[in-house]
Amino acid sequence: MTTAETRWIEPAQGLEIRRQTRALSVQEQDTRLRAIGVNPDRYQTIVDPAFLIGLSIDAGIASGISAEGNVNMLTRLTQKSPLRLGEAFNVAGIIESVDEVPRGLRIKTVVQFSDLAGASLATVVRESLKPVGRGHGAGGAGTRPPNVIADVSSLTSIAKYQLTPEATWAYSHEGNAIHYEIDAAQAAGFRAPIIGGGQGVHYLTAALWDEGYRDFDLDIFFRRPIFWDQRVWVGVSEDAAAIGLIRDDKVGTEMQIYGPDCARTID
């Protein structure tokens, strides 16, 4: 059955994302990262943790939960043990809550990654907005967590990237048309397609990997849309506890980096 023929299930609290066995090949990671200007050689045999965001969304789609038109709001990514390229792992999850907000439905999903023996590898907790109708205004998507990066000028720039439509299309062109079709993006109120949250996070995890991070405990906030033709840069805070993907001198995506003794920002 094609995506167009899928009978989608309305998101509801308690709806299970059925267990699936997946693997990410060396070739797929190599192709997709090179398409967006990230050198995959740094990861060698390890899955770039940013792929876990897309894999968690894919798991929902495979269970009949549409991602079409949905917008990432925030993600908690906790990785206890790296996933290895070419090795199978299990993915399963549940929709923890669905709340009505002025702009539609705010959906919280928890997805677990484990090895075939059942040992936990990683967890992705996502909150996304499923737009319904034309509601706008302050608080239209619900409670907004406080900013992680208060002043962009305080960041140290460590990398720059020029986004292109061709790169975004090559990275992914299925699942949510606002990321790769102009008409769909404009119908949703954007001037052009916006990159998927996971695509932007690759630029941040690459920087963290280069700094020696191998286990990840992150809160990721998608503050502003990043269009597929913008120039962006990666900035790190002075205390190295936050990193952001910046466009037009404003935070597009920001990430709080946790150590073992840090209090979390979100539940």
pLDDT at 175: 83
pLDDT in tens, 40-74: 999 999 999 999 999 999 999 999 999 999 999 99
pLDDT the model gives residue 1: 41
Q: What is the pTM of this model?
A: 0.92
Q: Is residue 252 part of a domain?
A: yes
The per-residue pLDDT for 144 is: 85
Residue 265 has pLDDT above 70, yes or no: no
- Find the domain containing 242 and state its range: 3-142+149-257
Give the CATH number, domain containing residue 160. Answer: 3.10.129.10
Q: Assess if residue 235 is contained within a domain.
A: yes
Reported as a single tens digit per residue, the pLDDT across 160-217 is: 999 999 999 999 877 899 999 999 999 999 999 999 999 999 999 999 999 999 999 9
- The answer to whether residue 264 sits within a structural domain is no
> Is residue 97, in this structure, part of any structural domain at all?
yes
User: For position 142, what pLDDT does the model report?
Assistant: 80
pLDDT above 90 as % of the chain: 86
Flag whether 262 is in a domain. no
Q: What is the rounded average pLDDT for all residues in the chain? A: 92
Residue at 238 is within a domain: yes
Overall domain count for the chain: 1
Q: What is the pLDDT of residue 261?
A: 47
In a domain, 19, yes or no: yes
The pLDDT value recorded for residue 266 is 52
DSSP letters along the chain, please? --GGG--PPPP-TT-EEEEEEE---HHHHHHHHHHTT--GGGGTTBPPTTHHHHHHHHHHHHTT---TT-EEEEEEEEESS--BTT--EEEEEEEEEEEEETTEEEEEEEEEEE-TT--EEEEEEEEEEEE-TT--STTTTS--PPPS-S-GGGSEEEEEEE--HHHHHHH--SS-GGGT-HHHHHHTT-SS-B--HHHHHHHHHHHHHHTT--SEEEEEEE-S--BTT-EEEEEE-TTSSEEEEEETTEEEEEEEE--TTPPPS--
Examine residue 183 and state whether it is found in any structural domain, yes or no: yes
- What pLDDT does residue 262 have? 47
